[in-house]
Every structure is written in C-alpha cells, then in structure tokens.
Amino acid sequence: MAIKLTTYYRSKDIPDLPGQNTFHSKDLFVVYENTKGYTPLLIVATDGDKVMGKILAAIRKKTTSFIIPTVFKKCEVYGCGEYFCEKEESEILFGELLKHLTREALRKCFLIEFRNLGNPLVGYKHFKDNLFFAVNWLRVRNKLQTEGPIEKEFSQSRIRQIRKALKNGAEVLEAKTQEEVEKFAVMLRKIYSTHIRKHYPSIEFFHHLKDIPQNKEGKRITSIYIVKYKNKIIGGSACAYSAENAYLWFSGGMRQTYSSVYPGVLAVWMALKTAKEQGYEHLEFMDVGLPFKRHSYREFILRFGGQQSSTRRWFRFKWSWLNKLFRKLYE
C-alpha cells in the first residue's frame, strides 16, 4: 500500500468520506469545531483515491482539581478509528495513524487518552511502540435485542421507581427545540459541577449535538431526552448512535430536589427503551469508572440489567519520563 496521511483542522476542507462510526465522523468534527474549548483534528488515510481509514481526535482544556486548579490540554479519542480494508491491513494502518496522531497531538496538548475501545486488546503492540500505558477500566453494556420489553432486565426496585415517577406526573420525551436543549444543558451543568471526575463540555456542545442531521439511511445520529415535572426540566440524557450500537454519553437528574419522581432513573430508562425500539443491538454507558469495588454510578446503572466487563484505556503524556513512570506503576 502507498498510504497517504492527511490531517484536517477545518471542517470545510474535509471531503465526503465513507463510514458509519459517529465518533470518527465529519458530523462530530463540526460539533467539536463549533464548541468553545475544543480543537478537533481528523486524520484520513488514503491509497490513491480510496479512503482506507480515518481517526478523529478532540483536544480540550481540562482542569485537574477544584482544590488546586491546574488547566492543561488533553486529547481524547473514542475507539481506534474506522477502517475500510481487510483486518490485517487495518491493524497496520492503525499503527501509522497512531504514530501520526501522537506526533500531531503532543504539539498542542499534554495528555492523549484512547477510551471506549470495543476490544481491550486492539492495537496493543502499536500503543506500546508509541509509549502509551494502559489502565484497567470497566465497561457496562445492555443487550437490547431480547424478547419482551426492556424493563424485564431491570431490578424490581427500578421498575417500581419508574411506575411511581410516571404516576406522580413525570414525563419523558425527546427534546425538540433549542430552548429545551438549553434548559437541559443548564440543569446538567449544575449536576456535573458537583462531580470532580465528570466532564461537562459546555451548553453550546449540546446545541450543536442536537443539530447533527440524519445519516444517509435516514437514521438519527444523536438524541437528547428530557424529564419534565410540572413543566420544568429536571433530568435528561444525551445519546449517540453509531452503526448497530447506542451510547449513553451524558445523563443526570435533580434527584435530591425531586426524589419522588426519580429523574435520573427516567432519563436512563428512556435512552434504553428508545434504543431498543429503534433496533440497536446494545446500549453502552460511556463512562462507568475505574474498577473500584464500590462505585455509585456503576451500581446505579447495573440495576438496569447491563453486563459489566473489563477493558482498557490507553494514555500517553508529553513527557517521556512520566510515561516510563506510569508504565512501571501499571504494568
């Protein structure tokens, strides 16, 4: 293969590209591009006129803590890209794309993170060759294409909570207007502000996420669901759809103020219910945390019937000595 790698920093320069992976699409590039604090880059591999693969990364500002706030730039990649060649060729191609991405990203940021890998062993050799180190992580997915309603996999306490919330007057529906998206985003920002590890992108991120058009098959790529009670938005979730899978990207609810209507529970329920109705095979929760024995959010979502499994996240610092130190700690 005579592979050519091209890096795009502006959406207007990106040509029409094949693919179904939302996390490596021009559509998501545009969302990042129009959100303050993000700098996207898309690397496309071609062999002549044929697109062989692509990988999208987003560089964003990150604050390390609220006690001693330190801001640095971090590059995030969901998965390992999308490829349009044989498996053996795609593995070689990923190595080339990773090497190129590492060089490009470290000019602008301090840390690179590869997360939400479909297979924890994918790219193992290439990550090692580029001085990345792995941290064990956990993954939770719900299998959707089973007989009967999605609720049959839930715990009995979850089912009771959903019934009680609906009986008490709560409503769950898809956000249709930018005003609803705005109120959802403001509500979510208040919730995420109390969680040090949770990243809240910005209100405008959700506006642009809502604006992503349907794909070529006429299916939507993203959805935002809202929980309303007495005409006030008290919860909700933002989902992304890619190929045969759905992803719960952000969710939350004002559970302390509105404990009787379980807004966080309804937000997750609606995401699962709709994904099943639309024919997706799985719904994956995007961030369920490190493999600690106790993790409140993970315990919360596991009551919806999902399966927990082990995976990895790969990290690479700009400073070589720091990578060597963490490799000794985690290997």
**Structure confidence at residue 64 (pLDDT):** 53
**Structure confidence at residue 125 (pLDDT):** 93
Maximum pairwise Cα distance, the chain: 63
Whether 223 and 248 map to the same domain: the answer is: yes
pTM of the model: 0.92
Share of the chain above pLDDT 70, in %: 94
pLDDT tens track for 265-283: 999 999 999 999 999 999 9
In a domain, 328, yes or no: no
Q: Higher-confidence residue: 72 or 171?
A: 171
In a domain, 74, yes or no: yes
**Structure confidence at residue 1 (pLDDT):** 60
Q: What CATH number does residue 282 fall under? A: 3.40.630.30
The pLDDT of 218-233, averaged and rounded, is 92
Total domains in the fold of the chain = 2
Domain of 174 in residue numbering reads as 140-310
Domain boundary (76, 104, 130) is at: 130
Whether 239 and 280 map to the same domain: the answer is: yes
Whether 187 and 281 map to the same domain: the answer is: yes
Whether 115 and 155 map to the same domain: the answer is: no
Whether 118 and 160 map to the same domain: the answer is: no
Whether 104 and 194 map to the same domain: the answer is: no
Report the distance separating Cα 165 and Cα 48, nearest Å: 57
In a domain, 213, yes or no: yes
Q: What CATH number does residue 108 fall under? A: 3.40.630
Whether 284 and 170 map to the same domain: the answer is: yes
On whether the CB atoms of residues 180 and 233 are closer than 8 A, the answer is: yes
In a domain, 320, yes or no: no
Q: Higher-confidence residue: 70 or 266?
A: 266
Whether 146 and 264 map to the same domain: the answer is: yes
In a domain, 326, yes or no: no
pLDDT band for position 69 (cuts 50, 70, 90) = very low
Report the distance separating Cα 109 and Cα 128, nearest Å: 20
Whether 107 and 217 map to the same domain: the answer is: no
Whether 200 and 245 map to the same domain: the answer is: yes
In a domain, 325, yes or no: no
Q: In which element (H, E) is residue 194 found? A: none
Domain boundary (87, 109, 130) is at: 130
**Structure confidence at residue 67 (pLDDT):** 45
Q: Any residues with CB less than 8 A from the CB of 275 and at least 6 apart, and which?
A: 144, 239, 241, 246, 283
pLDDT tens track for 172-218: 999 999 999 999 999 999 988 876 567 889 999 999 999 888 777 77
Whether 157 and 243 map to the same domain: the answer is: yes
203, two tokens: 């209100």
Q: For 279-302, give one letter per residue: b (16+ CB within 10 A) or e.
A: ebebbbbbbbeeeeeeeebbebbb
Domain boundary (75, 101, 130) is at: 130
275, two tokens: 């994904």
Q: Higher-confidence residue: 42 or 326?
A: 42
The pLDDT of 225-232, averaged and rounded, is 95
Q: What angle do CA 175, 162, 233 make, to 5 degrees?
A: 30
pLDDT tens track for 73-119: 999 999 999 999 988 899 999 999 999 999 999 999 999 999 998 87
Whether 156 and 233 map to the same domain: the answer is: yes
pLDDT score of 66 more than 60: no
**Structure confidence at residue 54 (pLDDT):** 98
pLDDT tens track for 11-55: 999 999 999 999 999 999 999 999 999 999 999 999 999 999 999
